[in-house]
Structures are given as structure tokens and as C-alpha cells.
Amino acid sequence: MSQPRYSTVPAHVAIIMDGNGRWANGRGLPRTMGHRKGVEAVREAVRTAGESGVKYLTLFAFSSENWRRPESEVSDLMGLLKSFVRRDLETLHRENVRVKVIGDRANLRSDVLPLLLEAEERTRANTAITLVIAFNYGARDEIARAMRSIAGDVAAGVLHPADITPERISARLDTAGIPDPDLIIRTSGEERLSNFLLWQAAYAELMFIPDFWPDFSRQTFLAALENYASRERRFGGLSERPLAVGS
């Protein structure tokens, strides 16, 4: 298969995978079938990102607000994540994909956390692309945890308030060491960030795509990358110029 490379490939693409339920409803299927089909779209997105030269792909798999869904749907989503890690970890590893998980790890179910840790550990040294799975993730929660950590250092006298800079805040977030997303895509036609990467989205290009997530194909992804390449980014200045840190 040819490897399309656009003149300006985003280093980091983050996706809000929305519309699984509506995809299923429209076909008279249970919502869970939408999530199942969504996992296939995840596989294709990881492959397409890697082939296109994207270095980081962040997927919003489960938000800290998703616990409010019915118990059966929550347990279905947990099951799908677990089976994705169990079934796909070796393939991801073979394809040189590094897995990183962001989100609150405290109080995660004992059948989920070890799998996520194993995926991170097994793929730690891989270099082709980093797949960032946002799980039990909420941006305000992430920022609050970072602030608590900084406040702890200030209280202990090891950090002066004057030294709290945007770079130091970035370094305390779950995404420390990961460049800010260049492109954030949301599927299903909704036009919101829904508590996703709020700090990191400062200069991201936003793209809202009408397709439901299970229909997000290789072609849709490539069209999004082409659209991105045609955009001019200014970072608050007058010409396109990537910022040095976390741009």
C-alpha cells in the first residue's frame, strides 16, 4: 500500500471518537455494536496515522464523565478496552507502536489497570508512533491533579510561585513529554471539546467531521490530513512558525 505523505503532516493528531451509539441506533442495533465497530475504526486509524508519518495519535477512549452511563455500557466499554489490549498488543508491538495511557489511574478497576501498565511497559522503547489512550480522562481533572502536585512543591518550599510557568504546568500534566496536538478531530458532527486536552489544545487546528466514529475510514483520515495541510497556522504571530516547546 502506498504511503501518503503530505507536505505538512501533523506530528500529533487527537481524536474525539463520537457517534458509536448513533451509528448503532440508525441500524436498529444495540449501542454496544457501535462500540464494537468503533474498535475496528481504532485499528484502521492507528495504521493510517503510522503510514502517514503522524508521530502521536491520541484517542479519547473513556472520559471521567462516562461513568455516568448505564452500568452495562460501562462494563461493555471496559471489556472492549481489555480485549483490545489483549488481542492487539503483540501486533502493536511488532509494528513498533508505543502505547501511553493518560487519565486518572487512581481507583481504576483491578482487571483494567495492570493491562494498561503492561501495554505501556511492553512497548516503552518503540519509536514508530505513540498511541496515547485517554482513559478515565478529563482535562479539568488532569489540570487539578497537576495543580495539586505544584501546590505541594510550593508548600514544601521547593518551588517558588514566580517559577510556575506554562512550561512547568505542561510538564506536570499526564501528557508531559508529548507535544501539544496539532490537529483535534471530532466525529459525529458535534462541535465541542467536551473536557478533552483543554490546556494542550491552545493552538490546535479543530476539525469536525460529520461521520460517526465507526465510519471513520482510512479515506476520511487522509482527507482530514489533506485539509490540515492546506491550513495556515500562525501561533499568534504573523507567519507559520512552530513553537519550540509544546507547540
Should residue 181 be labelled a site residue for ligand FPP when binding is judged by CB under 6 A? no
Q: Which of 84, 216, 221, 228 binds ligand FPP (CB under 6 A)?
A: 84
CA distance 196 to 23: 22
Should residue 17 be labelled a site residue for ligand FPP when binding is judged by CB under 6 A? yes
Judge whether 8 and 183 are in contact, CB under 8 Å: no
The one catalytic residue in 66, 126, 195, 227 is 66
Should residue 81 be labelled a site residue for ligand FPP when binding is judged by CB under 6 A? yes
> Cα–Cα distances in Å, from 45 out to 155, 159, 170?
44, 41, 26
Pick the stretch among 17-25, 140-148, 176-184, 192-200 that binds ligand FPP (CB under 6 A). 17-25
Shortest Å, Cβ 120 to ligand FPP: 14
Q: Which three cell numbers stand for residue 149?
A: 502536585
70 or 161, CB closer to ligand FPP? Answer: 70
CA distance 204 to 246: 11
Look at phi and psi of residue 53 and say left if phi exceeds 0, alpha if psi is from -120 to 50, else beta: left
Q: Which three cell numbers stand for residue 94?
A: 511488532
For 138, phi then psi, to 5°, come to: -145, 130
Should residue 196 be labelled a site residue for ligand FPP when binding is judged by CB under 6 A? no
Query: Is 66 noted as a catalytic residue in this protein?
Result: yes
CA distance 203 to 175: 16
Q: Which of 59, 102, 119, 129 binds ligand FPP (CB under 6 A)?
A: 59
Judge whether 25 and 73 are in contact, CB under 8 Å: no
Pick the stretch among 36-44, 90-98, 113-121, 150-158 that binds ligand FPP (CB under 6 A). 36-44
Amino acid at 108: L
> Cα–Cα distances in Å, from 27 out to 41, 60, 73, 208?
17, 24, 18, 23
132 or 173, CB closer to ligand FPP? Answer: 132
Q: Which residue is nearest to ligand FPP (CB)?
A: 21
Shortest Å, Cβ 164 to ligand FPP: 33
Query: Is 96 noted as a catalytic residue in this protein?
Result: no
Q: Which of 54, 102, 119, 133 binds ligand FPP (CB under 6 A)?
A: 133
CA distance 65 to 138: 8
Catalogue the active-site residues.
18, 66
Interface contacts to ligand FPP, rule CB under 6 A: 17-22, 35, 38-39, 42, 59, 61, 66, 77, 80-81, 84, 133, 213
